[in-house]
Amino acid sequence: MVVPRKLLNVTVPSYFMCPISLDLMRDPVTLCTGMTYDRSSIEKWLDDGNLTCPATMQLLDSTSLIPNHTLRRLIQEWCVSNRSNGVERIPTPKLPAQPEEVKAMLEDLKSGINVHDTVKRLRSLARESEKNKRCASDAGAVHVLINLLTVPNAEWPASLNYSADRDWVELTEDVLATIVVLSNSESSRGSVVAGTKQLACICWFLRRGSIESKVNAAVVLESLASNSELKSALSEMEGVIESLVGLLREKFYPRAVRASLKCLLALCATTRKNRIRAVEAGGVAALVELLPEAEGRGMLERALKILEFLSSCAEGREAISDHALAIPMLVKLILRASEAAIEHAVVILWMTECSKRTKQKAIELLKHLRDIWSQYPCSPGNKALSRIAPF
């Protein structure tokens, strides 16, 4: 069934390879049909709704997966014997988390029993596999963790003393990091809900935490911003938009920039007030300077979409016009970017203040381009043109 493939200068025995992925198995497990697969491959097969054995196509009486310890030890011994050829030994896999184990951990968190260590254990468990993430998310871990985001005392944040409240700071940083790990799971998306105190706590770390804490806070806030009520409350929090704009300048931390873009996009899409705050915080300059270094299509398109939102207010258009690199950068993108990026760039240029004579010339040029672009395979399409000039 499986054609042996070469790994460097070594032929991998066919019975060491997964019938689904055709790769060397790291965690072999056996189905009720007697066929053995790599755990990650067969779990994905079953999670997709398949109820048959991939190799025999027999209907499964059970979806239980039995670890094949004998085969795993043989694979490990083979890896060791071929180490001189560049083959690395496969570590012994850990058993997946059991729902009862996760529920017990969450009960400890609710009861205040050994909270910090339990949060660390939960995050470590979730990082081991996607199945563990789903197990924790399905058990309601995100909701329990959000409720742990409390303030240290009634006078907080004015009374915060880093040395005295260090335990609280470290615990909250670990809680945020764990929420971020779990928020990547499909089953947890849209389930992040917080109250006013939790929002205030997250926003404090966005403003004053370490760079890692700021990133985690931004990721959690982006999840919260999908809720219209929470988005409104978040917009009223002091320093949120200003701190997000500051994260855009952390060019050595791409994860920080991505988290900030997602959160800013959600907030700037709501009200004009948020857009003005972003402009006043230096958002236009930060976004324009980010464009040449934007990593990947998604980051570029989000940055341009935010700029498009900012250009919808007079303050934003003035800031774009005043920035020396803004117009040249946008024109350059029109020639080289994706269709969505081109659309955003064209709309920004159109909305930026210029004379009526210049706009009229632009309309005539766009009409001419629309007529001839369709004749060429490099055509960016007429979507962007029709948005600004429905002629």
Name the 3-class secondary structure at 23. Answer: coil
Q: Tell me if the pTM is above 0.85.
A: no
Domain range 14-85, CATH architecture: 2-Layer Sandwich (3.30)
Give pLDDT tens digits for 69-103.
Answer: 999 999 999 888 888 877 887 877 777 788 999 99
Residue type at 322? D
Strand partners, 10: 7
pLDDT of residue 364: 64
Q: Which amino acid is present at 390? A: P
Q: What's the pLDDT at 310?
A: 95
CB 217 within 8 A of CB 205: yes
Bridge pairing between strands 28-30 and 6-7: unpaired
CB-CB neighbours of 287 under 10 Å: 26
Instruction: State whether the Cα torsion 206-212-213-218 is positive or negative.
Output: positive
Of 135, 223, 258, 243, residue with least CA distance to 187: 135
- Runs of H (alpha helix) within the chain: 39-47, 69-81, 99-111, 115-128, 130-138, 141-146, 166-183, 196-208, 211-224, 228-235, 240-247, 254-268, 272-280, 283-290, 296-310, 314-322, 326-336, 339-351, 356-373, 383-388
Domain boundaries, the chain: 14-85, 293-390
The segments of the chain whose pLDDT lies below 50 read 1-6, 154, 382, 385, 388-391
- Residue 2 has what pLDDT? 36
| pLDDT, position 353 | 56
Given this model, what pLDDT does residue 82 score? Answer: 85
User: pLDDT by residue (tens digit) across 21-65?
Assistant: 999 999 999 999 999 999 889 988 987 888 899 999 999 988 888
Which tokens go with 245? 């704009």
Nearest to 245 by CA among 263, 221, 233, 225: 263
201 residue type, one letter? C
- DSSP annotation of 271 reads -
Question: How does strand 10-11 pair with strand 28-30?
Answer: unpaired
Given a contact cutoff of 8 angstroms between Cβ atoms, the answer to whether 171 and 116 are in contact is yes
Instruction: Give the Cα separation of 377 and 121 in Å (integer).
Output: 55
Specify the DSSP element, H or E, that contains 140: none
Distance, CA of 371 to CA of 22 (rounded, Å): 51
How far is residue 61's CA from residue 52's CA, in Å, rounded to a whole number? 9
Which pLDDT value is given to residue 388? 47
Q: Measured over all CA atoms, what is the biggest interatomic distance in the chain, rounded to whole angstroms? A: 80
Hunting for tokens 């659309």 — which residue is that?
A: 343
Separation of alpha carbons 157 and 150, rounded Å: 11
Triad 125, 123, 228: Cα angle to 5°: 125
